[in-house]
Amino acid sequence: MDGSETGVPGTAVRSLSDDDREALRRLYLQAAVSPVADFENLSQPAFCGDYGEAAPDWRIGPFVQDESMTFTKTRPWDDPTGIGWTSSVLANPTMIEHEGLLHMFYRANPSKESLGGRVGHAVFGPDGRWTDLSGPPVLYPETSDEVGSLEDPKIYRVGEVYHLFYNSVWFPEPSVAAAIRQGGRDWGATVVTKHAVSRDLVHFDRLGQVVPYEVSQGWSKGAVIPRSPHGEAVPIRGRYLMFLSEGCGDRQVIGSSVDMIDWEFEAAEYLTLPKEMGRLAEVACCVADFEPTGRMLVLDFFYRDPQGEWRAGQALYDHERLDRPLEICTGGSLAWGGLLRHQGAWLVMQGWDSPADRQEMYAYRSRS
């Protein structure tokens, strides 16, 4: 998508210039020593391990760790950008099965929750072991609007095609950033939702920006599409939906598409938390068409309670009415890349709890 398509001068996407590569190197060095702010104490078991008493039967979870599925990244990747990039932290993977193998695409960063991210690829085979397939990263900066980071992949299957959505980060000139924001909040960076497709989960064709700047106002995160327990994108009333909950001028937005390629977006308030719960931060994933709920959706979300603590929750919806949940409960998976049904249980992986000196992601399985 170029500047003429967005209507915002200065946003034309181009291949990396020498100045971009210098910015890449500088941002990488900063990211390697960046502080982790208030995300330092995030713990996956704190969110997904205990849902309290008498949880309704539509809930997904709680979860316990499966140590047999721990993934450890043991070797550095090649660096196509030539800046000497390497990672120290793994997080926020997405998973799907293909030809009997469990494929995982994951975010790797120089430090926890830093910029400078890349996306890697690993496979869990019948032998019960992970193999890291990343020589170079699957996704790394190739264009001017990717200099800051590539991160948080989410994958969906439609027929024989796999759709990978992810975020890129860049820092346009102040005048360009102001035009993108259209008077909205200054986030300090511009975040772009992007899209790539593949038939074999190895070779991806990049399709570019999904959420236009007139919708995102410079910050769109989410690309949460209703997904079946096995990773298929599920159409709702004949169209695929995409929930955006962060950015977009502080509006909740739903996208819709007939083919997963061309998207239309409109502001739609779909999840307002009760005052006693607090404030919604971001939707993590959406599960559709699963037992025992039938034609229902479960949104798994991240929020901040009135005391300022980070929490997880889940909300149940009927397919026919997405403006108001049927029920909201505390406790959730925070499976940012989507929950997957694997070997008889729901599966989520996350690297928040890895020690500082190990690049690991831990698996958590539902108790039923």
pLDDT at 289 > cutoff 90: no
Residues sharing a CB contact under 8 Å with residue 35, sequence separation 6 or more, in sequence order: none
How does pLDDT run across 254-274, given as a tens digit for each residue?
Answer: 999 999 999 999 999 999 999
How does pLDDT run across 21-36, given as a tens digit for each residue?
Answer: 999 999 999 998 877 6
pLDDT at 5 > cutoff 60: no
pLDDT at 341: 95
Q: Where are the alpha helices (DSSP H) in 16-100?
A: 18-32, 44-48
Higher pLDDT among residues 34 and 304, named by residue? 304
How does pLDDT run across 97-140, given as a tens digit for each residue?
Answer: 999 999 999 999 998 889 999 999 999 999 999 999 988 899 99
Q: Nearest-CA neighbor of 55 among 330, 334, 338, 368?
A: 330
pLDDT at 123: 97
pLDDT at 205: 97
Q: Is 338 exposed, middle or buried (0-12, 13-18, 19+ CB in 10 A)?
A: buried
Share of the chain above pLDDT 90, in %: 80
pLDDT at 363 > cutoff 60: yes
Share of the chain above pLDDT 70, in %: 95
Residue given tokens 């190739």 in the structure block: 142
Contact 335, 104 (CB under 8 A): no
What is the C-alpha to C-alpha distance for residues 330 and 191, in angstroms, rounded to an integer? 29
pLDDT at 222: 81
What is the C-alpha to C-alpha distance for residues 368 and 357, in angstroms, rounded to an integer? 33
Categorize the per-residue pLDDT at 3 as very low, low, confident or very high, splitting at 50, 70 and 90.
Answer: very low
Structure tokens at 248: 């977009």
pLDDT at 284 > cutoff 50: yes
Residue given tokens 């005391």 in the structure block: 307
Q: Name the pTM for this structure.
A: 0.95
pLDDT at 2 > cutoff 60: no
Q: Where are the alpha helices (DSSP H) in the chain?
A: 3-6, 18-32, 44-48, 174-181, 213-216
Domains, the chain: 3-52+69-267+335-366 (2.115.10)
pLDDT at 33: 87
How does pLDDT run across 317-341, given as a tens digit for each residue?
Answer: 998 899 999 999 999 999 999 999 9
Q: Which amino acid is at 115?
A: L
What is the C-alpha to C-alpha distance for residues 293 and 296, in angstroms, rounded to an integer? 6
How does pLDDT run across 186-202, given as a tens digit for each residue?
Answer: 999 999 999 999 999 99
How does pLDDT run across 152-161, given as a tens digit for each residue?
Answer: 999 999 999 9
pLDDT at 40: 63
The whole-chain average pLDDT of the chain stands at 92
SS3 label, residue 204: coil
pLDDT at 93 > cutoff 60: yes
Q: Nearest-CA neighbor of 175 among 128, 218, 123?
A: 218
How does pLDDT run across 54-82, given as a tens digit for each residue?
Answer: 778 889 999 999 999 999 998 888 999 99
Contact 63, 366 (CB under 8 A): yes
